DNA sequence: CAGAAGTTTCAGAAATTACTGAAAGTTTAT
DNA sequence: ATAAACTTTCAGTAATTTCTGAAACTTCTG
């Protein structure tokens, strides 16, 4: 498993970015390596290529599996476990979005719901609650929307993205188009 | 600047989430405090309320200003500087998206462009380059799209979000609606 | 210009997070 | 049942990130 210079650059970069994407350097490197390698690759090969301990590799792979970004791949006749990406690039990107939503938005939504249940103790709290409510509604919209987008599937999503500024014009016509929908206030 | 229990819970939570949102605990707490407090608040009051050093407070505020999430507010007659949110909740959310895009996507796009310029040295590299190209295109779409959404402005964005699954139906009709746009393959 | 009121910087300490490697665990083959 | 081939766990260490607080800086006031 010798990495070519190009692959090395890419792997190193994804390592650096890893922490910004919600996982750590090693996990980012492992992911890049698995994605860029057309053949399935074993844990030992990963450890060797990246110069990291076998234990760290194991933990990284576990994390990537919990994100559903890589999966195991049994090679007939081989005792070792091999790893491959859990889907195409689109799928992987979707998974990252979804996992991050779970980690970054859901816990906050849940707390906000709780905080909004209590009656405000005074003026100050009433004001704060109002702000928290705005935040809650915003997060709810984002969540609903992102699920909606995922349900569209890659093709339609792509259509929508490529549509670009056409979206604006389309929205202006929407009431004529979809008379069943009530307008938003 | 005594925090009520409700505000305390919210501030602590935003601190915990802070690191997942791209800044650290203290920065998250400071942001929450500024947003939830209707009055402008001074650096010293923030340090006291959160029990953090004055120096840390200063750095946190600097970071929040670099994210364009809070701004200074001069109170006439007061020597101190006060701080307030840089806009309404929608604006703040947009700023977070945009900043994160800059930090999480732009550097990768730039590297990918470079890596795609070199001719592949062999079979392996050609394959890797193909994958990198897919990633590049995806990130490009996401970037373009998110800029598009921001240009729509809050009202239309809200309309779009509330539209929910109507988007799917709308897309099916789009060709009739916007005949100038070519279909996507 | 001295000094009071405030802010920022940054070296070192504290806290957190990631990594190693040896030991324990698992699976398959004989 | 034993051994070989492999994986996982986890205590301790290393690396990184965050925080403090004292010193330096800035600005305003008399």
Q: C-alpha angle with apex A129: A128 to A130, nearest 5 degrees?
A: 90
Share of chain B above pLDDT 90, in %: 70
Lowest mean pLDDT among A99-103, A162-166, B72-76, B147-151: A162-166
pLDDT of residue B108: 97
- Does position A141 have pLDDT exceeding 90, yes or no? no
Q: How many angstroms separate the CA atoms of A79 and A154, rounded?
A: 36
Instruction: For residues B83-96, give the mean pLDDT.
Output: 95
> In the prediction, which pLDDT does B42 show?
96
In the complex, which nucleotide's C1' lies nearest to the CA atom of residue B77?
A: D28
What's CA B149's distance to the chain center, in Å?
13
Specify whether the CB–CB gap between B31 and B71 falls below 8 A.
no
Q: Maximum Cα–Cα distance for chain B, whole Å?
A: 71
Q: Do B6 and A141 touch (CB under 8 A)?
A: no
Res B11: pLDDT: 98
pLDDT of B176 reads 65
Distance CA A157, CA B157 (A): 17
Instruction: Give CA A121 to chain center in angstroms.
Output: 39
Phi, psi of A72 (to 5 degrees): -75, 155
Residue-level pLDDT at B145: 82
Q: Tens digit of pLDDT for each residue in B31-72? A: 999 999 989 999 999 999 999 999 999 999 999 999 999 999
Q: How far is CA B52 from CA A73, A90, B29, B81, in A?
A: 50, 43, 11, 18
Between the CA of B126 and the C1' of C3, what is the distance in angstroms?
70
Q: Is the pLDDT of residue B184 over 70?
A: no
Of A9, A138, A144, the CB nearest to B115: A9
- pLDDT reported for residue B183: 46
Measure CB to CB from residue B156 to each of A158, A161, A171 and give the nearest one: A171
Q: CA-CA distance, B29 to B10, in Å (whole number)?
A: 9
Query: Residue A145 contacts by C-beta under 8 Å, 6 or more apart in sequence?
Result: B160, B161, B164
- CA A118 to chain CA centroid, Å, is 33
Per the model's pLDDT, the better-predicted residue between A151 and A178 turns out to be A151
Q: How confident is the model at residue A175 (pLDDT cuts 50, 70, 90)?
A: low
pLDDT of residue A179: 57
Q: Å from A66 (CA) to C12 (C1')?
A: 38
pLDDT value for B153: 74
Boundaries of every domain in chain A: 5-85, 105-167
Q: Mean pLDDT across the stretch B108-120?
A: 96
CA–CA separation, B23 vs A157, rounded Å?
30
Regarding pTM above 0.75, the answer is yes
Residue A163 pLDDT more than 50?
A: yes
Domain B5-85 has CATH 3.30.300.30: no
For strand D, the positions having any atom within 7 A of a protein Cβ are: 5-10, 17-22, 28-29
How many whole angstroms separate alpha carbon B133 and alpha carbon B136? 5
pLDDT at A178: 63
Over residues A123-140, mean pLDDT? 95
Any idea of the CA torsion for B133, B137, B143, B145, to the nearest 10 degrees? -170
**Of B63 and B78, which is predicted with more confidence?**
B63
Q: Is the pLDDT of residue B174 over 70?
A: no
Averaged pLDDT for residues A97-104: 93
Digit-coded pLDDT (tens) for A4-57: 999 999 999 999 999 999 999 999 999 999 999 989 999 999 999 999 999 999
The mean pLDDT of chain B is 89
Residue B24 Cα distances to A71, B20, B56, B59, B61, angstroms:
32, 8, 11, 11, 12
Distance CA B33, CA B73 (A): 15
- Which residues in A lie closer than 8 A to residue B166 (C-beta atoms)? 174, 178, 181
């Amino acid at each position: 498993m010798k990495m070519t210079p190009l692959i090395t650059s890419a792997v190193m970069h994804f390592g650096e970015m890893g922490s910004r994407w919600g996982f750590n350097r090693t996990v980012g490197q492992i992911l890049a390596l698995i994605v860029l390698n057309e053949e399935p690759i074993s844990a030992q090969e990963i450890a060797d290529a990246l110069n990291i301990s076998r234990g760290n590799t194991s933990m990284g792979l576990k994390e990537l599996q919990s994100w559903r970004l890589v999966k195991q791949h049994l090679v007939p006749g081989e005792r070792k476990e091999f790893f491959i990406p859990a889907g195409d690039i689109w799928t992987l990107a979707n998974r990252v979005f979804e996992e991050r939503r779970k980690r970054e938005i859901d816990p906050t939504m849940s707390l906000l719901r709780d905080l909004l249940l209590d009656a405000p103790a005074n003026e100050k709290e009433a004001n704060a609650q109002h702000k928290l409510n705005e935040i809650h509604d915003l997060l709810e919209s984002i969540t609903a929307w992102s699920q909606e987008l995922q349900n569209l599937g890659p093709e339609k999503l792509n259509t929508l993205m490529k549509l670009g500024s056409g979206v604006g014009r389309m929205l202006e016509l929407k009431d004529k188009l979809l008379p069943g929908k009530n307008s938003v206030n």
